[in-house]
A and B are shown apart, each in its own frame.
Chain A
Amino acid sequence: MFINGTTIEIPETVGTIQELLIYLKLQDKMVIVEQNGVILQKEDYSQVVKSTDTIEIVTFVGGG
């Protein structure tokens, strides 16, 4: 899977966005997910992920 500009091997047990976040230990972090160019709302996290997906995971950082 292509995540934040890097190709990463994800186990086949990871089937949804929510499971991907848990696998990456990000489930309790303030993150926003974009899947294949589509920005997901929290209620979309049951969405299926595929190994060919391009995923962006962003957060808020300090800025002015």
Chain B
Amino acid sequence: MYQIGPYTFTSRLLLGTGKFSDFDIQSRAIEVSEAEILTFAVRRMNIFEPSQPNLLDKLDLSNYRLLPNTAGAKTAEEAVRIAKLARASGLCDMIKVEVIGCDDTLLPDPFETYRACEILLSEGFIVLPYISDDVVLAHKLQELGVHAIMPGASPIGSGQGILNPYNLQIIIEQATVPVIVDAGIGTPSDAALALELGADAVLLNSAVSGAKNPVQMAEAMKLAIRAGRLGFEAGMIEKKTRAQASSPTQGMSVID
């Protein structure tokens, strides 16, 4: 179990709700994943076609803790506005702060992210910033008082996996709040590695929604995340540069 602000969670898989091809597959993937936290984006309602189906209409949102994001924001002020709109739904008080600083790489803007977090904390939000794997920024955001940090494994939607396990490990070691590895996870082994490194959870979207079989991938990810966490808790052996015999080296006369 781990805690974000006042909330306690058992599932270490957070699931994004973007880019699923159909609602049925999406709701089955969510169910199989056993995710307790779902992420969303805030966008203009299509007022001309209100009957157009929205995935949210099919989900019983009361079963989940909602984590809207501020995707689309390029400044702290835009992120704060989106966060306030999301909270006015009356459905959530957590916010994933996502302020993109580069259209090409979709990497987050550290300065605007920090400013947005500062404002949102003063407004009473439960604040979870999405950041690059920047050790110093992660530390400064924790000092500011954020409730979790969400370092990216690699660029959003890239499926490149954890490009810098060294930085990620340092972020995890110095963390005083939960670390949720967000963005760039492609395979179940990527997710397992995040948990083996000691991350508290992983946020997935494209890796599941973009899989040929999203429901099966949701299950694979769930199992990988469990395996990674169990491995971390069990305490893994240290890597060595030379072989170490696993069979006894005494009493060898039987083969002499």
Task: Report which A residues bind B (CB closer than 8 A).
Answer: 3-5, 8, 24-26, 29-32, 34, 39-42, 56-64
Contacts and interface: CB of A to CB of B under 8 A. Distances in A.
Contact of A61 (B54, B85, B156, B183): B54
A40 B45 CA distance: 15
A24 B230 CA distance: 51
14 contacts: A26-B47, A34-B85, A39-B84, A57-B45, A58-B44, A60-B56, A61-B40, A61-B56, A62-B26, A63-B205, A64-B18, A64-B156, A64-B157, A64-B203
A31 B45 contact: yes
Interface string B187-209: 00000000000000001011000
B63 interface: no
Contacts, number: 103
Closest 5 CB pairs of A and B: A63-B41, A64-B16, A64-B205, A62-B17, A60-B40
B55 interface: yes
B43 interface: yes
B218 to A, nearest CB: 14
Contacts of B16: 62-64
A59 B88 contact: no
Contact of B44 (A4, A39, A40, A62): A4
A4 B49 CA distance: 13
B113 interface: no
A25 B46 CA distance: 11
A45 B228 CA distance: 48
A58 B42 contact: yes
Contacts of B41: 60-64
B39 interface: yes
Interface string B93-131: 000000000000000000000000000000000000000
A4 B86 CA distance: 16
Given A29-B54, A32-B85, A62 B20 contact: yes
Given A5-B44, A26-B45, A31-B45, A60 B86 contact: yes
A26 B86 contact: no
A19 to B, nearest CB: 15
- Listed residue (A24, A34, A59) with the most chain B CB atoms within 10 angstroms of its CB: A59
Given A58-B43, A60-B41, A63-B17, A39 B88 contact: yes
Nearest to A56: B44
A5 B45 CA distance: 11
Nearest to B183: A64
Contacts of B40: 60-63
A30 B84 CA distance: 15
B132 interface: no
- Listed residue (B40, B84, B203) with the most chain A CB atoms within 10 angstroms of its CB: B40
B45 A63 contact: no
Contact of B42 (A4, A24, A60): A60
B248 interface: no
Interface string B57-86: 100010000101101000000000100111
